[in-house]
């Protein structure tokens, strides 16, 4: 069977990928199912499930089971060890590249690695880079967010992530960010990633609420867009954002 990473790579080469993020701390399994089904109808490709705080493993497993019944791939987006469940297809095996805390750089990965193996989850090596606002992920992950005004710093973090072996580079402004990752940061990152010849999948998320922003990020070179809050606050807009991102 095709591995999910290969499928993501193929999807990103054919077009672009939209991810819908569901936080199992905010939504119970039924609500998560409802939200994911709206997102599927709006054209999302992949469901990400995870959050920074309050993840209760049995609820997480039930949420993944319910959401998986919709037929979309489900990737875990864990904030910690409690974000793992064998019910999912894969896990973003992440290093929070600009964390100041060794726990988020190697500690949690060492703890998680044998569990991921035992669960049979496909690990997708991912560099997670916090920009600007940072939100709960930045605070909990003890990140030193890269200022919005320094897209060149974002780009060299992305490049370092690729050179260390990440197949996915995730630029994160933080859930509910008042300002998303600037398109310049995506553009500079894409340029360096392409120049490296490694060309991992470049994903961006946090604070994207309108089609114009989604289009600008796509044109800057993003292969993937993550939205979470939008599906909670304004599901009617979701289809427009996805359409704008994919057909930019």
Chain contacts with ligand 1GP (rule: CB under 6 A) = 21, 137, 172, 175-177, 205-208, 226-230
Residue 137 or 186 with smaller CB distance to ligand 1GP:
137
Nearest approach, Cβ of residue 25 and ligand 1GP (Å): 13
Residue 120 or 236 with smaller CB distance to ligand 1GP:
236
CA angle 63, 224, 175 (to 5 degrees): 55
Residue 179 or 195 with smaller CB distance to ligand 1GP:
179
Nearest approach, Cβ of residue 136 and ligand 1GP (Å): 9
Give the other-Cβ count within 10 Å of 156's Cβ: 14
Nearest approach, Cβ of residue 210 and ligand 1GP (Å): 11
Residue 133 or 163 with smaller CB distance to ligand 1GP:
133
H helices within 45-131, ranges in order?
Answer: 57-68, 102, 108-119
Nearest approach, Cβ of residue 227 and ligand 1GP (Å): 4
Question: What are the C-alpha distances in Å from 50 to residues 22, 27, 92, 145, 214?
Answer: 6, 11, 10, 20, 22
Nearest approach, Cβ of residue 114 and ligand 1GP (Å): 26
Torsion angles phi and psi, residue 125, rounded to 5: -60, 120
Residue 231: in which H helix or E strand, if any?
helix 229-233
Residue of minimal CB distance from ligand 1GP? 205
Tell me whether residue 16 is exposed, middle or buried, using C-beta atoms within 10 angstroms of its C-beta: 0 to 12, 13 to 18, 19 or more. Answer: buried
Residue 82 or 229 with smaller CB distance to ligand 1GP:
229
Q: Round to whole Å and give the CA distance between 94 and 82.
A: 14
Maximum CA extent, the chain: 45
């Amino acid at each position: 069977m095709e591995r999910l990473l290969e499928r993501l790579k193929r999807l990103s080469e054919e077009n672009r990928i939209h991810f819908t993020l569901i936080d199992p701390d905010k939504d119970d399994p039924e609500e998560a199912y409802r939200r994911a089904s709206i997102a599927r109808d709006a054209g999302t490709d992949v469901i990400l499930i995870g959050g920074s705080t309050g993840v209760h493993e049995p609820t997480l497993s039930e949420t993944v089971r319910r959401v998986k019944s919709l037929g979309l791939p489900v990737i875990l987006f864990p904030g910690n060890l409690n974000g793992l469940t064998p019910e999912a297809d894969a896990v973003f095996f992440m290093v929070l590249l600009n964390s100041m805390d060794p726990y988020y750089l190697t500690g949690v990965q060492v703890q998680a690695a044998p569990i991921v193996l035992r669960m049979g989850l496909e690990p997708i090596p991912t560099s997670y880079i916090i920009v600007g606002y940072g939100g709960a992920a930045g605070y909990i992950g003890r990140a030193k967010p890269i200022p919005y005004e320094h897209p060149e710093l974002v780009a060299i973090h992305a490049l370092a992530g690729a050179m260390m072996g990440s197949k996915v580079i995730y630029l994160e402004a933080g859930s509910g960010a008042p300002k998303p990752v600037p398109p310049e940061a995506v553009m500079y990152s894409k340029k360096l990633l392409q120049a490296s010849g490694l060309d991992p999948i470049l994903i961006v998320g946090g604070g994207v609420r309108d089609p114009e922003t989604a289009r600008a990020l796509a044109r800057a070179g993003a292969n993937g867009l993550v939205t979470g809050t939008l599906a909670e606050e304004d599901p009617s807009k979701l289809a427009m954002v996805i359409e704008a991102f994919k057909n930019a």
